[in-house]
Chain A
Amino acid sequence: MSDIKKFMFVNRKAPYGTIYALESLEVVLITAAFDQDVSLVFLDDGVYQLKKGQQTKGIETKNFSTTYRALEGYDIEKLYVEKESMDARGLTAEDLLVDVTVLTSKEMGELMGQQDVVLSF
């Protein structure tokens, strides 16, 4: 495809409490098939989407967190987490189930400014 745009998905919501995280991930997977330049950003409660060890049996809901691990297979490798969001939740990069790039707020803001399409759900 000749039109390659920079797509950024901004995830600011925790999983399970609402469906946004799951349905957002479904868009990400489709976008990969369009050969676009895809970045995923995790801010605020969105960081919780990546927490290791999610066990959803007790709430009878599909555990979709393993899908984040599959993103690499779709050539989606740009995952960014804001340091301040992680710190505020007592989490470190070791708590996350995928490799991410940790950015400061300022770096995150600059990255946003460079995008063509910013999708938030």
Chain B
Amino acid sequence: MLHIINRSVLGNAAFDSCLRVAAPGEILLIEDAVYAATKGNALEGKVREMQNRFKIHVLMPDLEARGLADRVIDGVSPVDYGGFVDLVAANKNCQSWL
């Protein structure tokens, strides 16, 4: 299953809830959630730790727009919109954590 997170992970429950609830699978960070994929953010440790349970992807056009494309945490996979489409197609279902 693909979990799509779009809200900033600092001060928003969506990411934490997803990590708490979701069965192992894939996570895609888009829109304001892309900050979670950057080195030095307060949740970097958590993102690294969660890579045991989830394959974590980040939508690069959103990260580029926010000026942080050069700081992706090791192991987080960068995707473009085409990659986003592939992720949705490859998973049986997807949930947006709105």
Contact = CB atoms under 8 A, between A and B. Distances in A.
A118 B20 contact: no
Q: How large is the interface on B (under 10, 10 to 19, 20 to 34, 35 or more residues)?
A: 10 to 19
A96 interface: no
A43 B1 contact: no
Interface of A: 10, 12-13, 20, 43-45, 82, 84-85, 105-106, 108-110, 112-113, 115-118, 120-121
Interface stretch (B21-29, B37-45, B62-70): B21-29
Contacts of A118: 93-96
Interface of B: 1, 13-14, 17, 20-23, 25, 92-98
B13 A112 contact: no
Nearest to B16: A44
B21 A12 contact: no
B59 to A, nearest CB: 18
